[in-house]
Amino acid sequence: MARPAAAIILAAGQSKRMKSATSKVLHEIGGRSLLAHVLATCAALELERTVVVRSPEAGDVKDAAEAAGVPSAIQEKPLGTGHAVQAARKALGSFSGDVIVLYGDTPLVEPGTIERMLAARADGADVVVLGFIAANPGLYGRLIMDGNHLTCIVEAGDASAEERAIDFVNSGVMVAGAETLFGLLDSVSNKNASGEYYLTDVVSLANGKGLSCTAIECPEDEVLGVNSRAELAAAEAALQRRLRARALEAGVTMVAPETVFLSYDTALARDCWVGPNVVFAPGVKVGEGAEVRAFSHLEGATLAPGAQVGPFARLRPGAVVGKAARVGNFVEVKKAHIEDGAKVNHLSYIGDARVGANANVGAGVITCNYDGFDKHFTDIGEGAFVGSNTALIAPVVVEAGAYIGSGSVISKKVESDALALTRAEHKQIKGWAAKFRARKEKEKSKG
Residues of this chain that interact with ligand UD1 (CB under 6 A) are 10-13, 53, 75, 78-81, 83-84, 103-105, 140-141, 153, 155, 169-172, 198-200, 225
Give the type of residue at 198: Y
Q: DSSP secondary structure string, 335-367?
A: EEEE-TT-EEEES-EEEEEEE-TT-EE-TT-EE
- Rounded distance, CA 216 to CA 238, Å? 21
Nearest distance, CB of residue 84 and ligand UD1, angstroms? 3
149 is catalytic: no
- Rounded distance, CA 393 to CA 388, Å? 15
Nearest distance, CB of residue 113 and ligand UD1, angstroms? 15
Nearest distance, CB of residue 104 and ligand UD1, angstroms? 5
Q: State the helix-helix crossing angle for 34-45 and 59-67, rounded to 10 degrees.
A: 40
Of residues 58 and 350, the one with the C-beta less far from ligand UD1 = 58
Q: Which residue is nearest to ligand UD1 (CB)?
A: 141
Nearest distance, CB of residue 261 and ligand UD1, angstroms? 26
Exposed/middle/buried for residue 276 (C-beta within 10 Å: 0-12, 13-18, 19+): middle
Of residues 53 and 384, the one with the C-beta less far from ligand UD1 = 53
Of residues 61 and 398, the one with the C-beta less far from ligand UD1 = 61
Nearest distance, CB of residue 185 and ligand UD1, angstroms? 12
Of residues 108 and 410, the one with the C-beta less far from ligand UD1 = 108
Picking from 72, 36, 79, 34, the residue whose alpha carbon sits closest to that of residue 54 is 72
Catalytic residue from among 27, 149, 346, 426? 346
Of residues 159 and 397, the one with the C-beta less far from ligand UD1 = 159
As a whole number of Å, the end-to-end CA separation of the chain is: 95
Picking from 233, 202, 174, 198, the residue whose alpha carbon sits closest to that of residue 9 is 174
Q: How is residue 280 annotated by DSSP? A: E
Residues 6 or more apart in contact with residue 252 via CB below 8 angstroms: 268, 269, 270, 271, 272, 273, 274
Catalytic residues: 346
